[in-house]
Structure 1
C-alpha cells in the first residue's frame, strides 16, 4: 500500500455518544408522547451527536456529482452510448437535470466533478475539471484502474469532502454520472458480498433481457479474470470499480474524518459506501441511506451494512436525486429536535402513567 493511502485507514472519530444520549433524553421532554415522531426522533438525535450539540442545525448541504466513463461499455451493457456522459455533464451545467432542479429547491451548494469522461470537456459553469483518465479500462480484459489512477480518484473525493467541511456544510450528498456504471457497481457488489452476478444484475439505464444477459456475462468474465487479485476492498475497487465510484469512496471517508454526515443515494453510491465501509468500518455510523433503488442488488448491499433507507419511491435515476429528495425529512428532524417546546416550557402536563 502506498504511504499516501494511509489516510484511508486512520481512525475516524465516533459520533458523540454523550450528546446522543442527551438528545434522546431531551426528546422525551418535548410536547409529544415519547416515540410518537418515530424515526424523525432518531434522526434528530443522530444529527445532535454528529454536531456535538443538543439542538442540531441542517441548513447547508453540499452536493457533488462525480462523472466518469467506463471501458466495460464496449461489452454492450448500457442502453445509452458513452457520449451521454459528457452530454449529461453539460445538462448539469445548464441546470436541466433532475439533481440540479432538486439542488436549486434545497439551495444546496452544487458542483459536478469530472474525474474521467471519455472525451475532454470545455470549461463549464459548476463543473470542476479533475479528469484523471479517459474513463476506466474494460475490466473484462484488464484492471479497471491503475494504482495511480485509483489513488488520484480517492484523493479527488477527499478534496471535495475537505472543501465541504471547510465551508461549514452540515450534510454531504455524493452523486454520479457515468454510462455503464451500474455494471461496475454490480461487479463490486458481487465480489464483496460473494454473490453470483445473476442475483444482482438489474436494468440500469433500461436495458432489455438481452442487455441484462450481456451485463451478467461481462461481470462473470471480470470476476473470473481478477479473482486471484481481489484480496482486499481496495484491490477490488481498483480492478472492478470506476473513477467516480473511487472518488465517492474518498469523499465518504473524507467526510467522516471531518465529522460530516453523508446521505447515500442509490445503487452506484451504495456500492461506493460498501467499499468504503469495508476499507474502514469506522465510517459506517456517519452514513445515512436515503432510499431503496429499483436495482435488485441495492437491498442486498444495504442489508450487508445494516442500513435502513428512509424512502422507497421506486427511483433508479442516480445523480444524487434520491438523496436530495430526502433532505427535507432530515431538516424536519433537526428542527423538531431543536425548536419544539418541552413540557415545562409550554406549561403542558406530562403523562402521569
Structure 2
C-alpha cells in the first residue's frame, strides 16, 4: 500500500488562537463547542483566520458481493438507480449540497452497472462490485490499491480547485455489513454489538445478517496471520476510496467532515493505519445504526449532532456544516473587547 506522510497538527499556534478566542466580546468559554471547533480548524490550517473555502462533497458508489446473501432489505439495483437519481438532483445529498453550497462530485468506484452514459458521474470503476466475502476476499490487493488511489486522486483534484473542507458520502447496498466487520475486527467489540438494521431489516433479518457475517469472520480467522488485511478481505470499493480520500486530505491538511456509521468505519480504518489522521477529522453525526455510538466512543469522538439519520450519502455531515461554519465565523467576524470598548467580564 502507498505510504502517506501524515503528521499530528502543529500546536505551536494554540496559545495565540486561544488568546484570540478568549478576547472575543463574550464570556470566556461561553460558545462552548464552537470554540473547540475553531481551535481545531485553526490548528489544521495553521492560521488565526481559518477559511472553509470551496467546500466539496464526494459521493462514492459501489456494490458488494455480500448483498447476495440477503443481508440487506434493498436489492443491489438500488445502488445504480440512486446514482442516476443523484445526477438529476433528486437525492437527499443533492438537496443538502445545494443548501450549504457544496460542490458535489458523484463517483462510480464499483457499481454493478454501466453508468458511462451519465457524464455527471465520474467513472473510476475498479470492478462491477466486490466478490462475496462469505467465500473469499472481497477484492484483490491490486484492486484495493486501485480504489485507494481513486480517493487520493479525487482529493488532489479538489485541492487544486481550492477546496479546504470536504465530506464524503457513500451509496452501496449492503455496505453496513463490511462496516460492521471492520468495526469488530479493528476494535475488538463483539460482532453482535456491531450489527444493526442497515436500511431497515427487521429482527429476523438482523439475526440472519449476524449469522452470515459470523460465518465470514470465522472463515477469515482460519487464514494464516497477515495473509490478507481485513480491509482487503471485507471492504467495498467505495469504502476503500473513502479511506484514500481521508488519508490524502489529512496529508494535505484539509478539514474532513465524517458522516455516519459507514464513513465512521472508514475513518476508523484510516486512523488504524495512520492515527494522526484523526486530528483532521470532525465527527458530525451519531445515527441510529447499532454500534455507531460504540465506534465513536472507541475513537473518543464526540459528534456534533444526534438526529437519528440513517440515510447515508453523507447527509449527516452536510447537516452539521452550518455549525462548523458558525465556529469559523465566530473567530473571524466577532468583535473583541478592545475594539468594542467593552469591559472584560470573564
Is this a same-fold pair by TM over 0.5?
yes
Give how far 1:126 is off: 2.8
Match 2:148 to one of 146, 154, 174: 154
List runs of 5+ in structure 2 lacking aligned partners. none
Mapped to 2, the partners of 1:233 and 1:216 lie a distance apart of: 24
Give the secondary-structure state (helix, strand or coil) at the position aligned to 2:169: strand
The alignment status of 1:333 with 2:327, answered yes or no, reads: yes
Match of 1:278 in 2: 272
Match of 2:209 in 1: 215
Give how far 1:228 is off: 4.4
The alignment status of 1:28 with 2:22, answered yes or no, reads: yes
Match of 1:186 in 2: 180
Match of 1:103 in 2: 97
Deviation string 1:292-345 (CA, Å, 9 cap, x unpaired) is 010111111111111110000011111000000011110110000111111001
Mapped to 1, the partners of 2:117 and 2:342 lie a distance apart of: 59
Match of 1:6 in 2: 2
Match of 1:137 in 2: 131
Instruction: Return closer, same or farther for 1:106/1:126 CA change in 2, 3 Å cut-off.
Output: farther
Give how far 1:217 is off: 1.0
The alignment status of 1:83 with 2:77, answered yes or no, reads: yes
The alignment status of 1:195 with 2:189, answered yes or no, reads: yes
Mapped to 1, the partners of 2:16 and 2:76 lie a distance apart of: 51
Segment drifting more, 125-134 vs 235-244: 125-134
Contact 2:181–2:191 (8 Å) recurs in 1: yes
Match of 1:46 in 2: 40
Q: Give me the CA root mean square deviation.
A: 1.5
Segment drifting more, 134-143 vs 52-61: 52-61
Deviation string 1:137-192 (CA, Å, 9 cap, x unpaired) is 10110101111110101010111111122122121101000000011111111111
Could you state the TM-score of these two structures normalised by the residue count of structure 2? Answer: 0.97
Count of aligned positions: 346
Match of 1:116 in 2: 110
Match 1:225 to one of 216, 219, 243: 219
Instruction: Return closer, same or farther for 1:264/1:298 CA change in 2, 3 Å cut-off.
Output: same
